[in-house]
Amino acid sequence: MMSIVLAIVIGLAFGAVLDRVGASNPNFIGKMLNLTNLNLAKSIMLAIGIGSVLMFGGQMLGLVDVGHMSVKSAYAGVFIGGLMLGAGWALAGYCPGTGVVAAASGRKDALFFIAGGLLGAAAYMMTYPAWKNSGLLDGFAGGKVTLGTVPGAKYDGLTAFPGDILGLLLGAVFIAVAFALPERIMTAKSKAQPAE
């Protein structure tokens, strides 16, 4: 019961924040990915950095349960799937979470995204044995690993570097990059120049 209450509270907050940062607005996803407005990318980098610093800092102080970490396996299919997701994300302007939030906030096109997504997920469920047999789902570099070795975690480290310290450092790097990233990379297309 407690877990359902937490699901509601954290889910409500997550949905509301995705709306407020503009992540569920496909205009901002499009402008981030075509490099004309990186404010959303800056928010995302800052969020990862802050999350990382608080989580690893909290672990070092004994305030955050290391057992709550959940590290996914690294395998070739992660990259292939990432490419697919990236292409569809650019086309639609939605990813799974933001598509749900967008549909709820009144975007009718997002309902088609969810319908396509349910079909895509079902297609994967049907074709999963072929991927499994291909070996592309077999973990590489240790599979479920973190970049450093996090004390007390059930996951191996890719390196022996203390994972909590590395997490703090990388968190600081993400925050620094968020500030350093320009708001725009692609220059504005110049308006047609009047003939002289």
Partner 1 sequence: MPLNWKAGGLLLGLVFFLAVLLVKPIGVSTQFVILDGIVGDAVNSELVTQTDEGYTSTNAYLAKSNGKYAKSVANPLNYSFVFVLAMALGGFLSMRLRGGLDQAERSMPALWRANFGDSTFKRYALVFLGGFVVLYGARLAGGCTSGHMMSGMMQTSLSGYVFAAGAFAAGVPVSLMLFKKEA
Which residues between 78 and 117 bind partner 1 (CB under 8 A)?
Answer: 78-110, 112-117
Among 138, 152, 170, 192, binds partner 1 (CB under 8 A): 170
Residue 84 CB, shortest distance to partner 1, in Å, is 3
Residue 196 CB, shortest distance to partner 1, in Å, is 26
The reply to whether 176 sits near partner 1 by the rule CB under 8 A is no
The reply to whether 172 sits near partner 1 by the rule CB under 8 A is no
Per DSSP, the residues of 128-174 read HHHHHHHTTTSB-TTSSEESSB-TT-SSEESSSSBHHHHHHHHHHHH
Torsion angles phi and psi, residue 72, rounded to 5: -90, 160
Residue 152 CB, shortest distance to partner 1, in Å, is 14
**Residue 85 DSSP SS3:** helix
The number of residues that bind partner 1 (CB under 8 A) is 129
Query: Both tokens of residue 175?
Result: 């925050």
Residue 179 CB, shortest distance to partner 1, in Å, is 9
Residue 52 CB, shortest distance to partner 1, in Å, is 5
- List binders of partner 1 among 10-49 (CB under 8 A): 10-22, 24-28, 30-31, 33-36, 39-40, 42-49
Q: Which residues contact 185 (CB under 8 A, 6 or more apart)?
A: 35, 36, 38
Which one, of 27, 6, 10, lies nearest residue 102 by Cα? 27
Contact 71, 155 (CB under 8 A): yes
Q: Which residues contact 173 (CB under 8 A, 6 or more apart)?
A: 49
Nearer of residues 60 and 69 to partner 1, judged by Cβ: 69
The reply to whether 134 sits near partner 1 by the rule CB under 8 A is no
The reply to whether 125 sits near partner 1 by the rule CB under 8 A is yes
Distances in whole angstroms, Cα of residue 126 to Cα of each of 76, 95, 113, 121, 131: 20, 21, 20, 9, 10
Nearer of residues 60 and 114 to partner 1, judged by Cβ: 114
Residue 60 CB, shortest distance to partner 1, in Å, is 14
